[in-house]
Amino acid sequence: MKIIDVPQLSDEWFQARAGVPSASEFHRIVTIKGEPSKQAKAYMYQLAGERITGIKSDSYQSQAMIEGLEKESKARLLFEMMKDIEVQQVGFCLEDNEQYGCSPDGLLDSKGLEIKCPKSHTHVGYLLDKEAPIKQYFQQIQGSMLVAGFQYWFFMSFFPGLPELIILVPRDDKFCAKLKVELDIFCEELDGIEKKLRGMI
């Protein structure tokens, strides 16, 4: 795993992610069953455009995103206190061949951390049904473990004034194997589209 150590949501972070399949979007490449997603082609075209222009298509920072980062920082501090461990903040991580990556909300010695700070009603739903967030972010969390080579990943949901939710998610080796196959196919096709586009310039 290669770590690009830049602040998340910074210009450098968006630039590092431009044209690179990222775990937060893996659901657009593969379904929870490990099958090709119908969204894959549109995502592929988006990334191809980013590779040519060098501009990340979703680089806009809304007020909600900024507020989410502030809540995320509080959640991370709470996680460190509860687990009595220091969390390493990183920008963007690439798998060994640097074809795809992920943006963890933190790294531990051999585990990662994904923090979500949803609206209160969503967080309450997560507290009442702990499987719901794991299913919702299944491809992202499993994909992050694939990128990092880890066997476990913490998921944390946080909303001020409500109990926090922390779940240690194990790696699903069967799904990760399917995901890797689909990612390899996706990246090969993406390279081909990029080559065609550059030939038009």
> Tell me: the pLDDT tens digits for 28-44?
999 999 999 999 999 99
Spatial distance between the Cα atoms of 36 and 200, rounded to a whole number of angstroms: 29
Angle ∠(159,58,56) on CA atoms, nearest 5? 135
pLDDT of residue 70: 83
Domain that holds residue 55: 2-200
Q: Exposed, middle or buried: residue 121 (CB in 10 Å: 0-12, 13-18, 19+)? A: exposed
Domain count, the chain: 1
> Tell me: the pLDDT tens digits for 65-111?
667 778 999 999 999 999 999 999 999 999 999 999 999 999 998 99
* DSSP alpha helix (H) spans, 9-136: 11-17, 40-53, 63-83, 120-128, 131-136
CATH number at 178 reads 3.90.320.10
Q: Model confidence at 59, in pLDDT bands (50, 70, 90)? A: low
Q: Which residue has the tokens 């502030």?
A: 70
> Tell me: the pLDDT tens digits for 147-189?
999 999 999 999 999 999 999 999 999 999 999 999 999 999 9
